[in-house]
Amino acid sequence: MSSSAAGSNTQPSTAHEAVGHGEGVISETEQARFLPRADLQILIRLLRDDGFTVVGPKLDQSAIVYGEITQVADLPIGWTDQQQPGQYRLVPRNDDRMFGYVVGPHSWKQFLFPPSAIVATAQRTGDSWRMSTPDEPSPRYAFLGVRACELAAIAVQDKVFLGGAYVDPIYQQRRASVLLIAVNCTQAASTCFCTSMKTGPRCKAGFDLALTEIDSGFTLETGSERGRSLALRLPLREAQAAELCDAEQGREEAERQITKQMNTDGLHDLLLGQLRSPHWQTVAERCLSCTNCTMVCPTCFCSTVTEVSDLTGDHVDRERHWDSCFNMDISRVNGVPVRDSVASRYRQWLTHKLATWQDQFGTSGCVGCGRCITWCPPGIDLTQEVWTLQQLARESGHGLSHEEAPEQTVEIGSGEG
């Protein structure tokens, strides 16, 4: 049994409105606070003393990933990432920046929507069964180093898991206690297009604290009551004008470096008017249906459920695992998959992400982080695929509905798997 995007769950509001913490009002005085570089350890220690598991960037497997941080030395000091379609490289910097990278293969969704979770158990009791749901306390996370596009992604998942009739209890409990410490980008990758999706690169809402790193430390903004309380316990001082200027220049540099764009004007109708385009088959000739794009995406939420019994057959765990719309089985209905071709699965992914997600949740399913471009083995770039579809739509008559689309196009349910 799998769950995907099938349910209707209309929430017509902007992504940022769904964020639980942080009203995002930044006053000039708050912006003028400064945390010296040597005192970041105090922030980590305070969070750990308060019972948080601090999660942040660290080096692992030749990438910058998210994991538990106990000390500043765990951070990827002096390292950065270089990204292109289908390529990711870790390279040394010529300074000691702690957050001098963009985004890696991990997103924060693994901590709020865990890749594997037991959602129910059944225990045989004599002639009967006792069903229960797990009641262990949720971990209390403090996320350190959340980027603007990632704040937007969390807001999108808030709508998915909390915004409709069916609330996900695992996500709800973890989300309720999480503390979000954002770090503004001061550089961008060639795969970033947050400016097109209006999600970045500046963190504007949805955080408790937001830092901007310069060589000597961090300028600091607060975005919630919890953030303000935490800031009062930090050894902050007034930021000097030069420090504020450096921070602003860093943020502006990140914006300047973003060259990738996606035109989202009328995209919903345009994509749904291209359901029979031969271009889906063209993409399928490159797409491996490997699921990478959905695994790294911070908003994708498909999952599947399996039941696992012990050897006695007296105890059964119902386990939920991440799944992907690129897996054929996720669309299996009455014994056969509805989307039995790669073309149909790529079409489902792209049109859901950029069009029907709007119908379900009132927001795009894409925040422009670029992960799906970097981590796609053949380097398929959704912004280029959208551009091609926009060109084809212009040539063939813009705005045709699914029913009106010309019939001379390819059959994409060809069963090539």
Give the footprint of ligand SF4 on this chain (CB under 6 A): 287-293, 296-299, 326, 353, 366-372, 376-378, 380
What's the closest the beta carbon of residue 264 comes to ligand SF4, in angstroms? 12
Query: For 20, which DSSP code?
Result: S
Report how far apart, in Å, the C-alpha atoms of 79 and of each of 36, 58, 60, 97, 257 are.
20, 10, 12, 8, 18
In one-letter notation, the amino acid at residue 343 is A
What DSSP line would sit under 93-131, residue for residue?
-SS--SS-S---S--THHHHS-SEEEEEEEEEETTEEEE
What's the closest the beta carbon of residue 50 comes to ligand SF4, in angstroms? 31
What's the closest the beta carbon of residue 357 comes to ligand SF4, in angstroms? 10
261-264 long-range Cβ contacts below 8 angstroms, 24+ apart: 261/193, 261/195, 261/196, 261/383, 262/193, 262/196, 262/197, 262/368, 262/382, 262/383, 262/386, 262/387, 263/196, 263/386, 263/387, 263/390, 264/196, 264/197, 264/354, 264/364
- Closer to ligand SF4 by CB, 180 or 247: give it: 180
Whole-angstrom Cα distance, residue 375 to residue 191?
A: 10
Q: What is the 3-state secondary structure (H, E, C) of 65-103?
A: EEEECCCHHHCCCCEEEEEECCEEEEEECCCCCCCCCCC
The dihedral over CA atoms of 100, 103, 104, 110, expressed in degrees to the nearest 10, equals 120
Residue 304: other Cβ atoms inside 10 A: 17
- Closer to ligand SF4 by CB, 36 or 377: give it: 377
- Closer to ligand SF4 by CB, 151 or 230: give it: 151
Residue 177: other Cβ atoms inside 10 A: 16
- Closer to ligand SF4 by CB, 5 or 293: give it: 293
- Closer to ligand SF4 by CB, 53 or 384: give it: 384
Q: What is the CA radius of gyration of the chain?
A: 23
What's the closest the beta carbon of residue 386 comes to ligand SF4, in angstroms? 11
What's the closest the beta carbon of residue 185 comes to ligand SF4, in angstroms? 14
What's the closest the beta carbon of residue 378 comes to ligand SF4, in angstroms? 6
What's the closest the beta carbon of residue 39 comes to ligand SF4, in angstroms? 33
Within 13 Å and on the Cβ side, how many CA atoms surround 193?
21
What's the closest the beta carbon of residue 292 comes to ligand SF4, in angstroms? 4
- Closer to ligand SF4 by CB, 207 or 280: give it: 280
- Closer to ligand SF4 by CB, 76 or 370: give it: 370
CB–CB of 343/415 below 8 Å? no
- Closer to ligand SF4 by CB, 367 or 405: give it: 367
What's the closest the beta carbon of residue 165 comes to ligand SF4, in angstroms? 25
- 144: helix, coil or strand? strand
Phi, psi of 410 (to 5 degrees): -75, 160
- Closer to ligand SF4 by CB, 59 or 290: give it: 290
Buried b (16+ CB within 10 A) or exposed e, 68-90: ebeebebbbeebbbebebbebeb
CB–CB of 308/317 below 8 Å? yes
What's the closest the beta carbon of residue 291 comes to ligand SF4, in angstroms? 6
What's the closest the beta carbon of residue 377 comes to ligand SF4, in angstroms? 6
Whole-angstrom Cα distance, residue 55 to residue 383?
A: 31
- Closer to ligand SF4 by CB, 183 or 372: give it: 372
- Closer to ligand SF4 by CB, 106 or 320: give it: 106
